[in-house]
Structure 1
Amino acid sequence: MEKNGSNLTGLLVVNKPKGMTSFGVVSRLRRITGQKKIGHAGTLDPNVDGVLVVALGRATKLIDLLQRRPKTYVGTVTFGFATETQDADGAVIEKQPLEKPLEDSVVQAACRQLEGDIIQVPPLYSAVKVKGKRLYEYARAGEEVSLPKRAATIYYFHLTAETAFDANKGYQTAFFEAQVSKGTYIRTLAYDLGRSLGLPATMTALRRTSGSGFDLAQATDLDELMAMSREELAAVLKPIAAVLPFERKDMNEEENFAVRNGQKVDTWPKNRDGYYQLYDKDQLVAVYQYSDEEGLWRSRYYFA
């Protein structure tokens, strides 16, 4: 694909493979597109696969909006041991084999208790920053640090199949689905599920099935994207308008002039959402947000 003159704008819904960082995905796509403005909406750990939405060009302005949308995961949590990273990649730091399996109804009830607004303590091996350093940097240096607390919302958390018990190891594995808010650590959710049952627990597999308003059915494998021509890649780009949930407003000439010059507007009635996506004919120009403090509309995103 030619890099020169790249001006692609839109969203790529990538099916990220395991074994690669989210930054690595963005770097590869930057290389083949030549697009300088590019970023992703929500990090996936290297050992997690699934939906990763990548924004190109003017669509990067929407990353904050995309990140606020719920994300859905399927995975497994295994009771009987815990690791330093709360997932299968870390060293085992605790073992407590089960003599007999928990009833599935007991596990399901514990999942339900974790739904709603909760407070999480992120794992030490995570990218959360404290005093300018990421927690995993403290861990690798052997330095002590006070772990921060973070608010999260668990919209639902439930079992998707019967649990599996390994009588030889004393481990029990539960298969789950969870929909969560921005900033939720699923491996910590798995760890906390075990703790609520009085057992060490580890997230042993995870896949993101939806995020930022897109699901796996809309995603394209990274290898497939890397093999596409520029025209083929442009064809699979999701337009900015595809992710804007706001009421559409077609502008007259005077409004179009004001919006293209970043002016505030006080002539539009306030609508239910407090947002308008503004069009000049069929071209999306901007999104305006209503300011209750000022009693008028002001530019939130500008795309033209």
Structure 2
Amino acid sequence: MVTSKHPELSGLLVVNKPKEMTSFGVVARLRRVTGQKKIGHAGTLDPNVDGVLVVALGRATKLIDLLQTRPKTYTGTVTFGYATESQDADGEVVADQPLTEGLDQAAITAAMADLTGDVIQIPPIYSAVKVNGKRLYEYARAGETVELPERQATIYRFDQTSDLSWVEGQPYQQLDFEAQVSKGTYIRTLAYDLGQKLGLPATMTALRRTAGSGFDLAQATDLDDLLEMDFDQLCQKIMPIEAVLDWPRKDLTEEEYFAVKNGQKIPTTTWPQTEEGYYQTFYQDQLLAVYHFDADQGLWRSRYFFG
């Protein structure tokens, strides 16, 4: 286990977050064992959800906004016949409609297709969405009423991955699914909305994030294993910032280095416009900054500076 103070680390740790722990709890433990002040995560996972949580350290924290925009993939289970206030298995049941016969598979397939693409979601009252500076779950705990906001999301894929089956000893049916979604999507709301399409209450009863921010479970390390590593072992798990950047590389001349180091704008007479609109800039084989093309002004601007 890392116990002593070390120089600043910069890069990304891909963590397999366990259940029964908040994303903040993961960051707090890693902050303690690495001694890093600058540390954060890209994309919160609820305590009852396990899977990929990307943690950024040092200068890599500047990329959290970029990491959060990348699609996320989940596997999970939706159960039909009852719904909860939180739309997952942790909430109190608010609707119960026992099934007397099996669901129609064709109707489910059509409903899942209808929920693919750009959708509008209304998140549950027990969620962290803010309304007037206050999180929805704070309103719920205080017994206050509030109008639930609409949120836009994109569902890139929503696929059934198992046959329908009866929940043992109960009048409910369930199926497994895989979904690839945009930032801000509530998977439990997606499960609930699937039930609504079928005229039934539904609840997300299991969930795992299998990919997010450009990384998947195969690249993730269990949190407990990370916490038991010595400093050198932990460093081997840290991916460099360049691991998440897929834009063209530009090696800087001495003159360009001075301009980029000082955040100067670069005209298209110096750097022609590219299809990607981004450059990773390197000096002496070290990543210095990312530049973005400003189409409105027709020049290049510094987007991320790593120093």
What TM-score, normalized to structure 2?
0.97
SS at match of 2:193: helix
In the alignment, the residues of structure 2 paired with residue 179 and residue 256 of structure 1 have an alpha-carbon distance, to the nearest angstrom, of 40
Alpha-carbon RMSD: 1.0
Asked if 1 retains the 8 angstrom alpha-carbon contact of 2:6 and 2:34, the reply is: no
SS at match of 1:100: coil
Asked if residue 240 in structure 1 is aligned to residue 267 in structure 2, the reply is no
Q: Which runs of 5+ in 2 are unaligned?
A: none
Deviation above 2 Å: which 4+ runs of structure 1?
2-6, 103-106, 166-169
Q: Name the structure 2 match of 1:297.
A: 300
Higher mean C-alpha displacement, 1-10 vs 80-89? 1-10
Counterparts of 1:1-304 in structure 2, within 5 Å, are 1-166=2-167, 168-266=169-267, 267-304=270-307
In the alignment, the residues of structure 1 paired with residue 98 and residue 29 of structure 2 have an alpha-carbon distance, to the nearest angstrom, of 43
SS at match of 2:24: helix
Q: Which runs of 5+ in 1 are unaligned?
A: none
Give CA deviations for 1:24-68 in whole Å, capped at 9, x if unaligned.
Answer: 000000000110000000000000000000000000000000000
Asked if 2 retains the 8 angstrom alpha-carbon contact of 1:3 and 1:35, the reply is: no
Question: For this pair of structures, how many residues does the alignment match?
Answer: 304
SS at match of 2:266: coil
What TM-score, normalized to structure 1?
0.98
In structure 2, what residue type is equivalent to 1:202? T
In the alignment, the residues of structure 1 paired with residue 167 and residue 150 of structure 2 have an alpha-carbon distance, to the nearest angstrom, of 34
Give CA deviations for 1:90-132 in whole Å, capped at 9, x if unaligned.
Answer: 0111100111111333212211110000000011000001111
In the alignment, the residues of structure 1 paired with residue 298 and residue 4 of structure 2 have an alpha-carbon distance, to the nearest angstrom, of 45
Kindly, what percent of the aligned residue pairs are identical? 68
Deviation at 1:242, TM superposition (A): 0.6
Deviation at 1:281, TM superposition (A): 2.6
SS at match of 1:223: helix
In the alignment, the residues of structure 2 paired with residue 291 and residue 204 of structure 1 have an alpha-carbon distance, to the nearest angstrom, of 45
